[in-house]
Structure 1
Amino acid sequence: MTAKPIFTRGPSLPARLALCVIASLALMAADHHRHLDRLRQGLALTAYPVQWLASTPARIGKALAEQLAAHQVLVAENRALKRQVAELKRRTLKYEALKKENDRLRAFLDNSFKLGEQMLVAELLAVNLVPYEHRVLVNKGSQFGVHVGQPVVSVDGVVGQVVRVTPLTAEVLLITDPNHAIPVQVNRNGLRAIAVGSGEYDRLVLPNLPNNVDIRPGDLLVSSGLGGVFPQGYPVARVTTVAPQPGKHFARVEAKPTTALDRIREVLITWSQNTPSPFLPPTADAARP
């Protein structure tokens, strides 16, 4: 059996309403006279951690979204910059290649005026890959007036001569081919010799020179003009080795072509006017005793 409360009824509803109205008016009067400021500040300090914790997920989500958006923007900008850098590098390489080609063509033109001969610029189309056969194919043929036996030179020296012609192309035998020989002179003293190809792009051989021959390493060999093929006085090679051979009549004399025959891209096909060119002035090292 449960006990019954002593007071079965509380304050009446009008009494409660009146109490609430009186309490509200009292609080309004106290707030108007700033008696509740300390209480309000205390409650605000107490509620701040709760508010900060409640707003933390929203702040973290916003920060992550901003970071993700910034990362995506940076990635896109990085990709665009990489494409621009690659394009600029490609253009720079192209401009450098064009500049070098322009320099070579200028040098060809200057050489044409210096030699006083008619020349035709030709580009290499192919290189013979057979060992010890040094031949190249150029893009000028009989339609341009090219014929067999014509000398071919570069800005640095003699390259070879034309050995086969088609209407649009010509085959050039290089001076380093074992089947090629060119009459040369030592620019220092006028000594005549024959430079024969060795089968190596950087070596010519001068056979049948006696052990006491007046030739030195560093001497410049120029074309002598004998035979009427190559113009006189044009650089051919520079002496690299002079080795007398005891017990033999002839010395071992070798020279390096003045033209880098394994790196040429353009050549000059020459028409000689049968007017000999003067010897090149001796260089300081060749003139040195």
Structure 2
Amino acid sequence: MKLIFTQGPSINTRVVVALVVSVALMVFDHRQHHLEGLRSALAVLLSPLQVAINIPRNAGLWISENLVARSTLITRNQALQKENLLLQVHQQKLAALEAENMRLRNLLDSSFKIGDRVLIAELVAVDLDPYRQQVTVNKGSTSGIYQGQPVLDAKAVMGQVTHVNPFTSTVLLITDARHALPVEVNRNGLRTVAMGTGRIDVLELPHLPNNADIKAGDLLVSSGLGGRFPRGYPVAKVTSVTRNPGQPFALIEARPTSRLDQAREALLVWTLDSIQGLNLATEPDTPAPEQGDVLP
């Protein structure tokens, strides 16, 4: 007598097979990068889903904003007008200082270049855990985004682009354990490296001797070394300096000045150096640019 229903592989067998296939695909993609096209295609297909997921949130924000009382809106508008006036005054001062600084650097035959341009992008996904700290923005290769591009917010450095799809990009945050950023102490120019720890509010400054001139409250800014990040952008503030006479290096921690866990928008930055580098990369027999300060 034949069985009407034949029993297939068990659940455990199916799970093991799925895990083996998944690991094999991950290893194959990591070494050969043959699945890059498939990943980009999947990212394109999932872009509408990311937009759809944000529809309830955006709708809720729109409703809450439209329920604000008229008097509150008037007060806020007046405050914004005053703030805008002050910002315009500061902008005029900065423009004058920038022009004067440029004239002095030209006299010194400096290689300094200005003309940074930025593109505002919205965060569509956030992944903050101890093993991976990254966000996804709604700008990709169709907007000119490139791998290794520095990313800022309104206050400081956020991270850099590590993967580019046609309509979205992945940004590795400076707090990711794989990220390293050349910085200097704004007070005295002491150079070091800010290392991610996997914690959203902590960076480490390794390999500084116990007698290094650094203290809690010092502002760390990007040094520009490595050519990835523009110089002079705020990165973090030193929160603690522990000097142990029995150890060769001090234990130094800093807190990012960027609001990495609250940001809703990001600024993708192009500098003249990066633009020239991309132009050179498109010419024949020109080496590709370096990948940036991301630890393996």
Same fold? TM cut 0.5: yes
Matched, 1:91 2:68: yes
Q: TM-score, normalised by structure 1?
A: 0.57
Counterpart in 2 of 1:268? 267
Alignment of 1:8-157 (within 5 A): 90-92=67-69, 116-157=115-156
Partner SS state of residue 232, structure 1: coil
| Cα distance, 1:131 vs structure 2 | 3.4
Q: Which amino acid aligns with 1:212?
A: N
Q: Measure, in 2, the Cα distance between the counterparts of 1:272 and 1:184.
A: 18
| Cα distance, 1:87 vs structure 2 | 8.9
Q: Measure, in 2, the Cα distance between the counterparts of 1:210 and 1:254.
A: 14
Alignment of 1:110-259 (within 5 A): 116-259=115-258
| Cα distance, 1:90 vs structure 2 | 2.2
**CA spacing shift, 1:168–1:92, aligned 2, 3 Å:** farther
CA RMSD of aligned residues (A): 3.4
| Cα distance, 1:148 vs structure 2 | 0.3
| Contact 2:128–2:200 (8 Å) recurs in 1 | no
**Structure 2 residue ranges without an equivalent (≥5):** 1-62, 99-113, 275-296
| Contact 2:184–2:223 (8 Å) recurs in 1 | yes
Q: Measure, in 2, the Cα distance between the counterparts of 1:258 and 1:251.
A: 22
Superposed CA deviations along residues 42-62 of structure 1, whole A, max 9, x for unmatched, are xxxxxxxxxxxxxxxxxxxxx
| Cα distance, 1:245 vs structure 2 | 1.4
Q: Measure, in 1, the Cα distance between the counterparts of 2:236 and 2:64.
A: 42
Q: Which amino acid aligns with 1:252?
A: L
**CA spacing shift, 1:258–1:87, aligned 2, 3 Å:** closer
| Contact 1:132–1:200 (8 Å) recurs in 2 | no
Question: Whose Rg is larger?
Answer: 1
Q: Measure, in 2, the Cα distance between the counterparts of 1:147 and 1:183.
A: 20
Q: TM-score, normalised by structure 2?
A: 0.56
Q: Measure, in 2, the Cα distance between the counterparts of 1:87 and 1:198.
A: 37
| Contact 1:157–1:258 (8 Å) recurs in 2 | yes
| Cα distance, 1:222 vs structure 2 | 0.4
Q: Measure, in 2, the Cα distance between the counterparts of 1:87 and 1:219.
A: 40
| Contact 2:210–2:249 (8 Å) recurs in 1 | yes
Superposed CA deviations along residues 183-228 of structure 1, whole A, max 9, x for unmatched, are 0000111100000011111110000000111001111100000111
Q: Measure, in 2, the Cα distance between the counterparts of 1:190 and 1:130.
A: 32
| Contact 2:203–2:254 (8 Å) recurs in 1 | yes
**How many equivalent residue pairs?**
185
Q: Measure, in 2, the Cα distance between the counterparts of 1:138 and 1:212.
A: 42
Partner SS state of residue 143, structure 1: helix
